[in-house]
Amino acid sequence: MVAINLSELGDQIRQQYSNVTSYVVPTTDLALTENGKLSTGKNEYLLTAEGRQNLAQKSCSPVDFFCRLDTDVQAVLFNRLFKQQIDKCKLPIDLRIYLNQHNQFVGLDKPGLLRIRPIKLIELLENSLPKNFPPEKVGIGQANLLPTRIQISCFSPQITTEPREGDILNGGVDILHHTCGDVGTQVHCYLRRLVCENGSIAHLCGENRQLRARRLNNGRFDEDDMYEQISRLLQEAWTQVGEKLEAVKRLTEKERVSPEFLQQQRTRFSLNEGIISAIELAIRDDELGETGTQFDLFNAISRVATHRETLTFRQRRMLSRMAGEVSQQDAHRCESCGNWIIREN
């Protein structure tokens, strides 16, 4: 992506999401037409790719299979399976439909869930910046602006560490936000290596536990509660990112773990043999050479997460989180069982 700053990204978000709308309809009124539109009984809307996937999920259809069908076959399958979900009381009486700025359908969710609007989200991010960090000076490492999902990784050139000469890392904040659905907004620290633009995310910590954004409104919270929560997490991230970077620097003092470590982690992080091989290759291909320390593994995992084009968004996030965890942990082999034991720094 072309290098932009947080202020410019904010302008893009305000423009792209300024005319998005949503409203509540009776669930029984929803149906797919033979020409591939969603009918609410009163209106019909073209589907985005995200909207089609959402309808497949709501009707419990295999997403890839459903999306490959012709629109008339999709209509028959969806309308039958969706009605079955209604009859089984698997769906609420009403659903909220979401439309993009082009008045196209992008998704459904429960009407009782409060949702932070994208324009409000970028406002909260800008207001969370530490003093002397104007949005124009905060860079964007990654940004994905989709109808149903916003992911922003931003960093400040003023927050740095240098684990070895010429190898500089910046720190900042990563946000993953869904515009519809049941998932809450996620906030992490963002760690970005300049020489290769690799990125990773590290969870927030508080009182020896991970800080997480709670799921969105279930009737006990209102919008002010949501805004306060996200603001607090963003401020925590900016406060903690310096410590996260220092932990990365200390990796150069730790002996690198053996390849068996990756095999042990494959189930937890959904690693297949192709990804493991790519990580091992990335260790050897580092721009500044291997260090023989745990810093190599951190670099390699974040490199694959950032630059391997065949990965899905979920795989990239999983590997970015794995790299972040590696950067904040000590790993040593148990003398009794031979397994690698992980301990938080």
pLDDT (0 to 100) of residue 261: 86
Q: Which of 249, 271, 257 is nearest to 327 (CA)?
A: 249
The Cα–Cα gap between 259 and 37 comes to: 50
How far is it, in rounded angstroms, from Cα 66 to Cα 211?
Answer: 37
Residue 37's alpha-carbon distances to 26, 62, 72, in angstroms, are 17, 19, 10
Q: Where are the alpha helices (DSSP H) in 129-172?
A: none
- pLDDT value for 210: 57
Amino acid at 234: L
Per-residue pLDDT of the chain (345 residues; tens, 9 = 90+): 567 999 999 999 999 999 899 999 999 999 999 999 999 999 999 999 999 999 999 999 999 999 999 999 999 999 999 999 999 999 999 999 999 999 999 999 888 887 788 999 999 999 999 988 999 999 999 999 998 999 999 999 999 999 999 999 999 999 999 888 777 789 999 999 999 999 999 999 865 555 555 555 555 557 788 888 899 999 999 999 999 999 999 999 998 888 788 888 888 888 999 999 999 999 998 889 999 999 999 999 999 999 999 999 999 999 999 999 999 877 666 666 656 566 665
* Geometric angle at alpha carbon 317, from 272 and 235, rounded to 5°: 155
pLDDT value for 336: 64
What are the backbone dihedrals phi and psi of residue 148, each rounded to the nearest 5 degrees, phi first?
-110, -5
Residue 152, strand partner residues: 143, 175
Are 180 and 21 spatial neighbours (Cβ–Cβ below 8 Å)? no
pLDDT at 227: 87
- Reference 332, options 281, 245, 264; nearest CA is 264
Question: How is 168-196 classified by DSSP, letter by letter?
Answer: EEEEEEEEEEESSSSPPPEEEEEEEETTT
The torsion angle over the Cα atoms of residues 20, 173, 153 and 56, rounded to 10 degrees, is: -50
Contacts of 83 (CB under 8 A, 6+ apart): none
Query: Do residues 81 and 60 lie in contact, with contact meaning Cβ atoms separated by under 8 Å?
Result: yes
In Å, how far are 37, 101, 215 from 115, measured between CA atoms? 25, 17, 10
Q: Do 213 and 198 contact (CB within 8 A), yes or no?
A: no
DSSP assignment string, 236-261: HHHHHHHHHHHHHHHGGGSBPPPTHH
Contact status, residue 124 vs residue 24, Cβ threshold 8 Å: no
The pTM of the full predicted model, rounded to 2 decimals, is 0.88
Alpha-carbon gap, residue 143 to 316, rounded angstroms: 13
User: Phi, psi at residue 228, to the nearest 5°?
Assistant: -65, -40
How far is 184 from 115, CA to CA, in rounded Å? Answer: 9
Q: Could you tell me if 251 and 163 are in contact, meaning their C-beta atoms sit under 8 angstroms apart?
A: yes
Residue environment code for 173-196, b if the CB has 16+ CB neighbours within 10 A, otherwise e: bbbbbbbbbeebbbbbbbbbbeeb
Residue 204, phi then psi, degrees to nearest 5 = -80, 145
- Say which amino acid occupies 38: L
Q: Tell me the one-letter amino acid at 329.
A: Q
